[in-house]
């Protein structure tokens, strides 16, 4: 089976392949940073004892998540971010597992 048939991606925009950082490297670094920041903001929100602080951190978190999504979209459009197609059997199995857990909580 062709490995690419299970992948979702765009044609890759060529970048220099040397020890210097290129546009792809920078975007990867930025996206990783945004993901890390989002996780940290969520933790800060969970631990905020003040409602105004909670809301302000929430607004910053949303902005950070939007920036991460924008970075992902650029990377995907340039072919620098590839995704594996989800297997329908895996989706169904996970869905059934979560539905079972949800029913157990009811």
Residue 1 confidence (pLDDT) above 60: no
Residue 2 belongs to some domain of the structure: no
Please, what's the largest Cα pairwise distance for the chain? 56
Residue 5 belongs to some domain of the structure: no
Provide the pLDDT for residue 92. Answer: 94
Q: Residue 33: which domain range?
A: 22-105
Helix (H, G, I), strand (E, B) or coil at 13: coil
Predicted confidence (pLDDT) per residue in 58-105, tens digit: 999 999 999 999 999 999 999 999 998 888 998 999 999 999 999 998
Distance CA 59, CA 69 (A): 15
List the alpha helices (DSSP H) in 4-87.
Answer: 23-47, 51-77
Residue 8 belongs to some domain of the structure: no
Q: For the chain, what is the domain count?
A: 1
Provide the pLDDT for residue 2. Answer: 46
Query: Is the separation of the CB atoms in 38 and 65 below 8 Å?
Result: yes
Residue 27 belongs to some domain of the structure: yes
Q: Residue 4: which pLDDT band, with cuts at 50, 70 and 90?
A: low
């Amino acid at each position: 089976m062709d490995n690419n048939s299970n992948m979702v991606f765009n044609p890759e925009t060529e970048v220099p392949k040397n020890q210097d950082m290129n546009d792809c490297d920078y975007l990867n670094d930025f996206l990783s940073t945004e993901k890390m920041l989002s996780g940290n903001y969520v933790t800060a929100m969970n631990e905020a004892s003040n409602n105004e602080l909670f809301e302000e951190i929430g607004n910053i978190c949303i902005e950070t998540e939007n920036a991460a999504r924008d970075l992902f979209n650029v990377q995907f459009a340039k072919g620098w971010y590839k995704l594996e197609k989800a297997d329908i059997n895996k989706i169904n199995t996970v869905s059934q597992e979560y539905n079972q857990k949800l029913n157990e909580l009811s």
